[in-house]
Amino acid sequence: MLNARPLPFTLKDDPWDPIFSLRRHGRHRLTSVEMTLSNLCNMRCEHCAVGDTLVLAEPEKLPLDMMLRRLEEVEELRTISITGGEPTFAERTVKEYIIPLLQYARSRGIYSQINSNITLDYSRYEAIAPYLDVMHISFNYTSADDFHEIGFAKSGHPVPKAVAARMYERMMDNARRLGEGGLFVSAESMINFRTHRKMPEIHRLIAEMGCRRHEVHPMYPSAFAADLPVITPAQMRDAVTDLLNRRDPSLWMLFGTLPFYGCSDDAADRALLQRLANEPHVTVRNDPDGRNRLNVNLFTGDVFVTDFSDVPAFGNIRGSRLDELFERWLAHPLAKSVDCHCPAAACCGPNLLVKEMYYRDVDFGSRSAIV
Ligand code: SF4
């Protein structure tokens, strides 16, 4: 066993969902801090949200102590997330940053997540598993060929199929072993132009790998993925419906950043939301970005609302406390443009990218859920 603790949260209390902190405090509070610890990665995925920032050699990070001090000041902190690049790419980062940050989370009684492609050697993940709550992986494939095509789409040089196939097998094997060792592995798939008709097959493989949760988000083209074809909300609705019809009912499914809201004029959107709310083992997470979460870039100290760069940094941890920066963000006109809350629909507003893409002229402040 990897000595991972049993998952301390349930389907009914997802500590990453801002609706719970909003209910608890009556207003949005910073409860979640995401840290970008690596701009290195062994893959170059077509859809990568931070692909533009990936490098071959990276600068020094800010001292760990500074980050720990800033975390300690966050009054209502409940979760931390570690992201990259591939956060475990450099062993030094694993030893000097990742393990101490996870140990800090444990000692404070808060939850932790790492976003990893788990294609490296098992020993790297085995080293962090005892301190980790959620190993979050991306899985958008039905075969090694898919993995090759998607995972190296932005590589500057050709990557042999056989190399990709070995990584694909290692990733699946690592997921199985980590899961068997007791770690909660959550696999995320994106609904996009490639996957929208393949979701049930992707779901089947995720269940076979022993993952405990399948997380599904539509893909919204940002930065690196800006040139990818966009699918319509109706196609997304069909993909979600198809998945619900054919899923493994025992596997927790978490849907996030959906472009459908309880205030929609479209009855099909509302019917789908109703179905999602009634399905066993299915949850819909409100968007954490800027609602209960901020992202800190450990190389510069810059603070963002998301780990991708569409909204520029609005502060830096060198000079400000994270709670202070969060209050500053809440007062920002962009934050206000998506600040709504309909308790009856358990909804606290759209994601910024979704608003920009589909609801540019909609004033969410003047709408409310139709229940
Ligand atoms: S909280 Fe906002 S987005 Fe959600 S249903 Fe209400 S008005 Fe619509």
**Closest-CA residue to 64 (of 54, 76, 72):** 72
If one counts every other C-beta atom within 10 angstroms of the C-beta of residue 281, the result is 15
Mean pLDDT of the chain: 91
Spatial CB neighbours of 313, under 8 Å, sequence gap ≥ 6: 297, 300, 302, 303, 304
Q: Could you read off the pLDDT of 104-163 as tens digits, one per residue?
A: 999 999 999 999 999 999 999 999 999 999 999 999 999 988 888 877 777 777 878 888
Q: Is the pLDDT of residue 349 over 90?
A: yes
CATH superfamily for domain 18-335: Aldolase class I (3.20.20.70)
Residues 64-78: pLDDT tens digits? 999 999 999 999 999
Atom 1 in ligand 1: residue holding the nearest Cα: 341
65 Cα: distance to centroid of ligand 1 (angstroms): 40
- Give the single-character DSSP code of 255: E
CA of 294 to the centre of ligand 1 (A): 22
pLDDT of 309 higher than 60: no
Give the ligand 1 atom nearest the CA of 341. 1
What atom in ligand 1 is closest to the CA of residue 367?
A: 7
In contact, 204 and 249? CB cutoff 8 Å? no
Give the predicted TM-score (pTM) of the model. Answer: 0.93
pLDDT tens-digit readout, 192-214: 988 999 999 999 999 999 999 99
Beta strands at 303-304 and 293-297: parallel, antiparallel or unpaired: antiparallel
Q: How far does the centroid of ligand 1 lie from the alpha carbon of residue 295, in Å?
A: 24
Measured over the CA atoms of residue 367, residue 240, residue 216 and residue 8, the dihedral's sign is: positive
Distance (Å) of CA 240 to CA 183, 246, 269 = 27, 10, 11
When pLDDT is averaged across residues 41-54 and rounded to a whole number, the result is 68
Residues with CB under 6 A from ligand 1: 261-263, 340-342, 345, 347-350, 364, 367-369
Ligand 1: which residue has its CA nearest to atom 2?
349
- Pocket mutation for ligand 1, best pick of 263, 272, 339, 363 (most atoms within 8 Å of C-beta): 263
Residue spans per domain, the chain: 18-335
Q: Tell me, in angstroms, the distance from the centre of ligand 1 to residue 62's CA.
A: 39
Distance 263 CA to ligand 1 centre (A): 6
**Residue tagged 């000079």 (tokens):** 319
Which residue out of 284, 336, 342, 362 has the highest number of ligand 1 atoms within 8 Å of its CB and is therefore the one to mutate? 342
CA of 145 to the centre of ligand 1 (A): 40
